[in-house]
Amino acid sequence: MGPGPRGAPSEATEDLSARCHLLDRHRATRPAEAARFYAGLFGWVLTDAVPPDAPGSYLIATLDGQDVAAIGPSATGSASWNTYVAVDDADATAAAVPGLGGSVTAAPEDAGPGGRAASCTDPAGAAFRLWQPRRRLGAQLTNSPGSWNFSDLHTPAGETVPAFYGPLFGWLAVDLGQGAGTMIQVPGYGDHLAATVDPGIHERQASAPPGFADVIGGVVEVPAGVPARWQVTFTVADRDASVALAERLGATVVSSTDDVWTRNARLRDPQGAEFSVSQFTPPGGDW
């Protein structure tokens, strides 16, 4: 949970092979309205990365001057959140996708000086993006209120992580106990955080299950026929207060749940894009 190596959540500051979630991008039907909603909900500051004399808009969201997400125009006419995974070589990674049963829906291409991207789906149809960072590394702040926390894979095919994402990114599907279900680990991710942006993570999580610092998301099995998808979750300090604020800003509450570690809500923003917010409430208090 936090900036990490290639193939896990966010900033790619060292090469630990292709396996790190990098950034979540909102594809909006009306980017300016989406910017106002998320700025109001999370306190984001939005800055357009496209020069004033160039067409289009690509808004970088920051908290305390650090990148946390991005908002760009939708090419499909519908709004959604999209998860990008950092890789060392977008072309090589995309070339491996079909052999593992997935599909490349948009071939790798340069996205200006920021990096190189490709769009893919896993064997169950869940869409994700590859990002080979150059100038723009990705999320620089995570696990703080208003920033990325987890990306959960909702799928009818629970074997997708070991069979597809494992060989592609080196991810592991693990059960850490305490009723949390199957979680996705990036080996070495916690050590990376400890060496970079979160030096106290291991001490803070001393009472957590072994390996929890390496977790970047979970696997939620859905019935056959339900479309597979990645669901982005943002950290909040207070689930109920955030839900109330989101509703005042025009969002709809899809569901709300409490589990052993978190208080969660799944929301639909005014343009129809779904995302989740999560308040960390571990047994026995803060880790």
Does some domain include residue 72?
A: yes
User: What tens digit of pLDDT does each residue of 92-134 get?
Assistant: 999 999 999 999 999 999 988 888 999 999 999 999 999 998 8
- Residue 130 CA, distance from chain mean position: 12
CB 171 within 8 A of CB 19: yes
- In this predicted structure, the answer to whether residue 282 has a pLDDT above a threshold of 80 is no
* Residue (of 169, 185, 193) closest to 85 by Cα position: 169
User: CA 93, CA 120: separation in Å to the nearest integer?
Assistant: 10
Does some domain include residue 162?
A: no
Does some domain include residue 147?
A: no
Does some domain include residue 259?
A: no
Q: CATH code at 72?
A: 3.10.180.10
Q: What does pTM read for this prediction?
A: 0.87
- In this predicted structure, the answer to whether residue 179 has a pLDDT above a threshold of 70 is no
* Residue (of 229, 240, 61) closest to 148 by Cα position: 61
Query: How many CB atoms lie under 10 A from the CB of residue 233?
Result: 23
Does some domain include residue 184?
A: no
**206, amino acid identity:** A
User: CA 223, CA 154: separation in Å to the nearest integer?
Assistant: 10
Does some domain include residue 81?
A: yes
User: CA 116, CA 136: separation in Å to the nearest integer?
Assistant: 10
pLDDT at 37: 96
pLDDT at 3: 34
Q: How confident is the model at residue 197 (pLDDT cuts 50, 70, 90)?
A: low
Burial letters 242-274, b for 16+ CB under 10 A, else e: bbebbeeeebeeeeeeeeebbbbbbbbbbbebb
Which residues constitute the domain of residue 113? 20-133
Task: Please state the domain count of the chain.
Answer: 1
Does some domain include residue 176?
A: no
User: What tens digit of pLDDT does each residue of 6-52 get?
Assistant: 454 333 222 322 344 556 677 777 888 999 999 999 999 999 888 88
Query: What is the percent of the chain with per-residue pLDDT over 90, rounded to a whole number?
Result: 51
- Residue 233 CA, distance from chain mean position: 7
Does some domain include residue 82?
A: yes
DSSP alpha helices (H): ranges in 142-269? 160, 166-169, 189-195, 201-204, 239-248
User: CA 242, CA 287: separation in Å to the nearest integer?
Assistant: 22
Beta-bridged to residue 114, according to DSSP, are none
pLDDT at 35: 92
